[in-house]
Structure 1
Amino acid sequence: MVGETKGNIIRPKQPYFVMTTSHYYKAVIMNYGISHFYCFQKEDIIERPFIAVPDGCIDILFCCDDKVPYAHICGTVLRPTLTHNSENKYFFGVRFLPGSPFKFKNITMSDLVEQEIPFLEVIKDNELFEKVTSSRDFNYQIQVFLERYIKLYANFNEINKYKDLKKYMLNNIMKTAGKVKINELAEATGYSVRYINKTFSEEFGLSPKVFCKLMRFQYLLSTLNELDKDIFESNLAQISMDLGYYDQSHMIKDFHEFTDTTPKMYIKSLKESEYKKRIIII
């Protein structure tokens, strides 16, 4: 299986966040609906644009600025999008897993797609906001966030009537790198295609078709991050087949749609930016 997974759950990537920083710190959680925490400082000496790519995830991003701190709940983008390009700002972020079981009060998942909503409008917790944005201690920020969040997560997870169906659908999408068909999910669960579509849209904010397309792209990103240009080019046909693309041109077209570049140029950017040296796992 291609892609970086743990228990068939994808670890979503935002590679341009890493490329625009001198150091990108990451703490992998893979629990409570959270993929990982991260922090970084946007450097003014690095001229690469700060671009978000589609990942099917929700992030909470805190700008820990002494003068004007802020925080946003950010839904997935559906195309490469320039975002938070402030220079010399320290950011702390929480990236939820694709299809995270946690929901925010008074907003639906579809409300967040390609949107950023002020954190305090949704989660009215000034104390949490102030503790996170007034610190530059990554471990402390993680601890403070988890102390508040885990209680909310436990309460919500107990009352989610779609929990089992959602988990089944998500696991099948991850196991197949997004290649599963909606009628296969319907047949396996005993629900109608219409019900599956309705439930999926409510729980994920996207149609099954779009979500699967984003997961396939994220699997491709994970694969490219581990390859050099020569290996990629010699295995192009196999990679496209493994991920369920019709052919190589289909894979390249989809990749360009979500990154504004080609897989070959993306691998070149990884090498030029020394991507793996910038990312620090703690």
Structure 2
Amino acid sequence: MIGDQNKIIVSPKQPYFVMATSRYYKAVVMDYGISHFYSFNNDVIGNEVIAVPDGCIDMLFCCDDKQPYANICGTVLQPRIVNNKRSYFFGIRFMPGLSFNFNHVAMSDFVENQIPFLEVIKNKELFDTITTSRDFNNQIQAFLKMYIPLYQQSQAEDKNRNLKQFLLKKISATAGQIKVSELAETAGYSVRTINKVFSREFGLPPKIFCKLIRFQHLLSNLNNFDKNIFDANLAQLSIELGYYDQSHMIRDFYELTNTTPGKYVHSLKEIEYNKRLIVI
């Protein structure tokens, strides 16, 4: 049976956000249902802000002097351009299924969708505070002041809290290589219950969610390649991540990024990705 789960290891990545800027600032939280905060200027000509599947929800604020806006963005299922506006952006990436509940909006409504922030969270004061600032730390503190009481209330009312944490931890620990029947058996629930919880709390069927988590693990591995990537590296990686073979892994990666693992790693090195990513 499940108990209180701690240290959930999920580190959702959006590498094309980093590629669209000369400096991408990231403040890791891994608490309160938040993965991290981030900010960047979309200042690299020719590089659009493209989202790839991650199973998460983001709040993205465009802090433009003339036309500020903010959206709550659900996970995409295929790569998609989310912005090409030249401006300063502030964002919050939530842990899958672990943020506070959005009133009157189901998690499935966010999938492949962007809903205006003020339609869901009717807090014009917070919107104005964040979109008129360029101070990353002040934006974080302003958001947390509003968010933490809502999160704590939501957690106190969430009957599925421990189950969601358990499922997320189990899926992450196996890099998405787990069947729904195994999740159900380990958690002590029926397959029907697991499917129902996923649809309501994550907005996705568990099989698709596991695919996205495996993809995110693949991204993490590719981001850590220090040397030139060879077929031997990819073959070994495909085995470790539970793909049928190397070709299967490449097909999945292409479906979710519109590029191949080899070309992706090359692009990371070409733009000096790690120098653009600043973790604070």
Equivalent in 197, 203, 206 of residue 205 of structure 1: 203
The match for 1:42 is 42
The match for 1:165 is 163
Q: Deviations over 1:62-106 (max 9, x none)?
A: 00011111100000000000111102x000000101222422111
Question: Cα distance, 1:189 vs. partner?
Answer: 2.4
Question: Cα distance, 1:230 vs. partner?
Answer: 2.9
Note if contact 1:102-1:153 (Cα within 8 Å) is conserved in structure 2: yes
Note if contact 1:62-1:71 (Cα within 8 Å) is conserved in structure 2: yes
The match for 2:273 is 275
The match for 2:12 is 12
Q: How far apart are the structure 2 equivalents of 1:245 and 1:57?
A: 23
Q: CA RMSD in A?
A: 1.3
The match for 1:29 is 29
Instruction: Tell me which amino acid in the other structure corresponds to 2:167.
Output: M
The match for 1:61 is 60
Instruction: Tell me which amino acid in the other structure corresponds to 1:167.
Output: Q
| Equivalence map 1:1-282=2 (5 Å) | 7-43=7-43, 45-87=44-86, 89-228=87-226, 230-282=228-280
Question: Cα distance, 1:271 vs. partner?
Answer: 0.7
Instruction: Tell me which amino acid in the other structure corresponds to 1:19.
Output: M
Q: How far apart are the structure 2 equivalents of 1:201 and 1:232?
A: 39
Instruction: Tell me which amino acid in the other structure corresponds to 1:250.
Output: H
Q: Secondary structure at the match of 1:140?
A: helix
Q: How far apart are the structure 2 equivalents of 1:84 and 1:61?
A: 10
Note if contact 1:229-1:264 (Cα within 8 Å) is conserved in structure 2: no
Note if contact 2:17-2:51 (Cα within 8 Å) is conserved in structure 1: yes
Q: Which stretch of the first structure deviates more once superposed, 54-63 or 186-195?
A: 186-195
Q: How far apart are the structure 1 equivalents of 2:97 and 2:154?
A: 14
Q: How far apart are the structure 1 equivalents of 2:263 and 2:33?
A: 33
Q: How far apart are the structure 2 equivalents of 1:112 and 1:188?
A: 29
Question: Cα distance, 1:56 vs. partner?
Answer: 0.4
Q: How far apart are the structure 2 equivalents of 1:231 and 1:261?
A: 15
Question: Cα distance, 1:192 vs. partner?
Answer: 1.4
Q: How far apart are the structure 2 equivalents of 1:227 and 1:233?
A: 13
Question: Cα distance, 1:187 vs. partner?
Answer: 1.3
Number of residue pairs the alignment of both structures matches: 275
Q: How far apart are the structure 1 equivalents of 2:109 and 2:229?
A: 41
Instruction: Tell me which amino acid in the other structure corresponds to 1:83.
Output: V
Note if contact 1:228-1:267 (Cα within 8 Å) is conserved in structure 2: no
Instruction: Tell me which amino acid in the other structure corresponds to 2:36.
Output: H
Question: TM-score, normalization: structure 1?
Answer: 0.95
Question: Cα distance, 1:165 vs. partner?
Answer: 1.3
Note if contact 2:36-2:93 (Cα within 8 Å) is conserved in structure 1: yes
Instruction: Tell me which amino acid in the other structure corresponds to 2:30.
Output: M
Q: How far apart are the structure 1 equivalents of 2:263 and 2:167?
A: 34
The 1:77/1:54 distance shift into structure 2, 3 A limit, reads: same
Note if contact 1:182-1:193 (Cα within 8 Å) is conserved in structure 2: yes
Note if contact 2:61-2:69 (Cα within 8 Å) is conserved in structure 1: yes
Q: How far apart are the structure 2 equivalents of 1:101 and 1:187?
A: 25
Note if contact 1:14-1:52 (Cα within 8 Å) is conserved in structure 2: yes
Q: Deviations over 1:237-271 (max 9, x none)?
A: 22111111111011000000000000000000101
Structure 2, unpaired ranges of 5+: 1-5
The match for 2:3 is none
Instruction: Tell me which amino acid in the other structure corresponds to 1:35.
Output: S
Instruction: Tell me which amino acid in the other structure corresponds to 1:257.
Output: E
